[in-house]
């Protein structure tokens, strides 16, 4: 089983065979997570610290559960309420925690590149749980696992990623992963919500849902990331929903068996129709949450194996 990394900082550094290794292992953890009898001891004796500098419910809970289900000692720090408020820098906070010898550091931060910076300063394995607009690797991996289980493959699919691409680390990590696995990626968004130079990522770009969803196997909706917007990117939520919100009528342009995804938290009636989001025949949103725990278990398992095999060696 090859996974030659000390950290999981982004999809960009992963090879296709490493992505497959991780997803295969995650598949095994899905059944293990459904079994309520006792916990695995894969991470027993290891300490996992979750440092979330941004509000998070599902991702933090998912990492916490994943660690606990594998027997790690898990500690979640409420970073907003802690030393950061007293003016300490990210690096000083990290060095302080590093001195307590954790094995796995899970970090979410509003600044792009924060996880990479941390990884250079600490001895433990760092997992990026979302850094600014940059990457959110475990989200793309859990989306990939959901797609693979539903569609039976993770290549030669047409995936439409719709909405606020410009501010989304989920979109970026998904584009990288789906492109590496040889899928056709179509971005559907108003021009104001697309980053410049996005065509260089090997994607198709559309400004219209009818055209963008045509023959799609997967329709992935994104939240409007208002906290990262510094101006008016859309005329109004009503107008946005009318043009880009996913409802049954727009979904009819995709393939008959197309699945609907959303990383959450979703805004019903802004980016997606509430009834469609709850339609278990089309929407896999709850399944994505379940796959999240399994993917995080697999990621921490692989990193822990490398830590145990090569405790001092610095890998990519
Ligand atoms: C995403 C994130 O934080 O980037 N959410 C998540 O991880 N569940 C997407 C979002 O906030 O819209």
- Has residue 256 got a pLDDT over 60? yes
Sheet holding 204-206, edge to edge: 204-206, 184-188, 158-162, 218-221, 259-261
Pull the structure tokens for residue 66: 């994943």
Q: Over the stretch 8-65, which tens digit does the pLDDT of each residue have?
A: 999 999 999 999 999 999 999 998 888 767 677 899 999 999 999 998 889 999 999 9
**Confidence check: pLDDT of 174 > 70:** yes
Q: What is the pLDDT of residue 84?
A: 61
Q: What is the pLDDT of residues 125-147, one digit of tens each?
A: 999 999 999 999 999 999 999 99
CA atoms of 177 and 224, how far apart (whole Å):
22
For the CA of 130, the closest atom of ligand 1 is 4
The residue to mutate among 112, 137, 227, 263, having the most atoms of ligand 1 within 8 angstroms of its beta carbon, is 263
Give residue 136 CA to ligand 1 midpoint distance, Å.
8
Indicate the helix (H) or strand (E) that contains 309.
helix 285-309
DSSP at 314: -
| Higher pLDDT pick, 189 / 196 | 189
Nearest CA to ligand 1 atom 7: 59
Cα–Cα distance measured from residue 76 to residue 51, given in angstroms and rounded to the nearest whole number: 6
Q: Which residues of 143-181 are buried (b: 16+ CB within 10 A; e: fewer)?
A: bbbbbbbebeebeebbbbbbbbbbbbbbbbbbbbbbbbb
CA of 169 to the centre of ligand 1 (A): 8
pLDDT, position 81? 59
CA-closest candidate to residue 198, choices 230, 218, 174, 181: 174
Share of the chain above pLDDT 70, in %: 95
Ligand 1 atom nearest to CA at 136: 4
Taking the CA of residue 170 as reference, the ligand 1 atom at the shortest distance is 4
Q: How confident is the model at residue 97 (pLDDT cuts 50, 70, 90)?
A: confident
279-294 pLDDT, tens per residue? 999 999 999 999 999 9
> Whose Cα sits closest to atom 12 in ligand 1?
223
- For residue 139, how far is its CA from the centre of ligand 1 (angstroms)? 8
């Amino acid at each position: 089983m090859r996974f030659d990394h000390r950290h999981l900082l982004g999809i960009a550094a992963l090879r296709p065979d490493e992505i497959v290794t991780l997803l295969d292992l995650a598949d095994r953890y899905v059944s293990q997570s459904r079994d309520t009898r006792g916990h695995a001891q894969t991470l027993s004796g290891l300490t996992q610290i979750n440092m979330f500098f941004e509000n998070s419910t599902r991702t933090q809970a998912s990492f916490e559960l994943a660690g606990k289900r594998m027997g790690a000692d898990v500690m979640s720090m409420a970073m907003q309420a802690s030393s950061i408020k007293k003016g300490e820098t990210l690096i000083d906070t990290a060095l302080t925690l590093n001195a307590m010898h954790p094995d796995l550091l899970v970090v979410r931060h509003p600044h792009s590149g924060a996880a990479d910076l941390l990884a250079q300063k600490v001895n433990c394995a760092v997992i990026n749980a979302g850094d600014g607009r940059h990457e959110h690797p475990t989200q793309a991996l859990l989306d990939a696992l959901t797609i693979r289980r539903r569609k039976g493959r993770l290549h030669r699919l047409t995936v439409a990623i719709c909405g606020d691409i410009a501010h989304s680390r989920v979109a970026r990590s998904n584009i990288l992963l789906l492109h590496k696995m040889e899928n056709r990626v179509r971005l559907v968004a108003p021009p104001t919500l697309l980053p410049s130079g996005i065509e260089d990522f090997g994607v198709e770009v559309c400004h219209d849902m009818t055209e963008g969803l045509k023959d799609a196997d997967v329709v992935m909706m994104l939240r409007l990331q208002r906290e990262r917007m510094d101006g008016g990117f859309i005329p109004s939520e009503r107008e946005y929903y009318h043009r880009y919100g996913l409802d049954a009528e727009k979904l009819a342009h995709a393939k008959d068996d197309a699945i609907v995804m959303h990383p959450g938290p979703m805004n019903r009636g802004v980016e997606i129709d509430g009834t469609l989001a709850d339609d278990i025949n089309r929407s896999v949103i709850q399944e994505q949450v379940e796959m999240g725990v399994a993917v995080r278990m697999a990621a921490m398992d692989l990193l822990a194996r490398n830590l145990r095999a090569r405790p001092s060696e610095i890998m990519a």
